[in-house]
C-alpha cells in the first residue's frame, strides 16, 4: 500500500488534478450534467471524493453526506469555509487503508482526473481501496482523458500535453476496474470546445 499513498501524494500534492477537472468541466452547467448523468446521487447517499479540491461538485448535489480527501491544506480550508459541516467532512491528507475505519461504508466513490497520473499498480491499488470503502451494491465513478482510434488530432495533442503520463485506452481503464468490480460500464465522451476525449467508468 505504500506505493499507492506515495503515488497519490505525488499527484495530489499539486493542484494538477483539480485544474484538470476544472478544465474538463468548464462551467457549472457541464458539471451538473455530469453529476445528473453519471453520479446520480440519491437523498441520504454517502459519497467519498478522492482529490476533491475545494469540492465544487458539492454545489451540484443536495441531501447527501460527503467526505472529501485532498492533500492540499489550502483546498481543504476553502472547502470547509464553503460547505456546511453538518453534511460535508474534509480531510487534508491522502486516503489510506487505515482511514477505512473512520467512515461508514459509502454509496458512491469519485475518482475524477486521478487515474491517468498513476501507473497500473498504483491505479489498481487505489481502485481496490475505494472498493473496500464502498458498500456492496455501491458504485465508483472514474473520469480521465483517453486515447481512442481516429481521435480528433487537437484532442490527442492536448491529451499528450497533459502532465499525467499514464493516459490509457478505454480497454486499459476498464481492465483496471475489472480487477475489483463485477460490473463495469464505460462511456466515451467527446467535448467539442476545446476538442477533448474523456472516458467515464461506472463500476459496481
The number of residues making up the chain comes to 204
* pLDDT tier at 10, thresholds 50, 70, 90: very low
Angle between helices 2-12 and 16-25 (to 10 degrees): 60
Contact 92, 67 (CB under 8 A): no
* pLDDT tier at 13, thresholds 50, 70, 90: very low
Instruction: Check residue 53 and report its DSSP letter.
Output: T
Write the pLDDT tens digit of every residue in 15-44.
456 555 666 656 567 888 999 999 999 999
Residue with cell 469555509: 81
Strands 65-70 and 134-147: unpaired
Q: Is the pLDDT of residue 128 over 50?
A: yes
Provide the whole-model pTM: 0.86
Instruction: Check residue 27 and report its DSSP letter.
Output: S
Rounded to a whole number of angstroms, the CA Rg of the chain reads 16
- Give the count of beta carbons closer than 10 Å to the beta carbon of residue 27: 8
Amino acid at each position: 500500500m505504500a506505493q499507492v499513498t506515495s503515488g497519490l501524494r505525488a499527484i495530489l500534492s499539486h493542484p494538477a488534478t483539480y485544474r484538470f477537472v476544472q478544465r474538463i468541466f468548464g462551467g457549472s452547467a457541464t458539471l451538473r450534467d455530469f453529476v445528473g448523468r453519471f453520479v446520480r446521487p440519491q437523498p441520504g447517499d454517502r459519497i467519498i471524493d478522492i482529490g476533491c479540491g475545494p469540492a465544487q461538485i458539492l454545489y451540484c448535489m443536495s441531501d447527501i453526506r460527503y467526505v472529501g480527501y485532498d492533500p492540499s491544506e489550502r483546498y481543504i480550508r476553502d472547502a470547509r469555509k464553503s460547505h456546511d459541516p453538518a453534511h460535508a467532512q474534509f480531510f487534508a491528507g491522502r486516503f489510506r487503508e487505515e482511514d477505512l475505519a473512520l467512515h461508514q461504508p459509502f454509496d458512491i466513490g469519485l475518482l475524477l482526473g486521478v487515474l491517468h497520473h498513476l501507473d497500473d499498480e498504483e491505479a489498481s491499488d487505489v481502485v481496490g481501496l475505494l472498493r473496500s470503502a464502498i458498500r456492496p451494491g455501491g458504485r465508483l465513478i472514474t473520469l480521465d482523458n483517453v486515447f481512442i482510434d481516429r481521435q480528433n488530432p487537437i484532442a490527442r495533442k492536448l491529451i499528450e500535453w497533459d502532465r499525467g503520463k499514464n493516459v490509457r485506452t478505454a480497454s486499459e481503464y476498464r481492465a483496471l476496474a475489472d480487477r475489483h468490480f463485477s460490473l463495469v460500464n464505460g462511456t466515451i465522451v467527446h467535448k467539442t470546445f476545446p476538442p477533448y476525449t474523456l472516458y467515464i467508468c461506472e463500476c459496481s
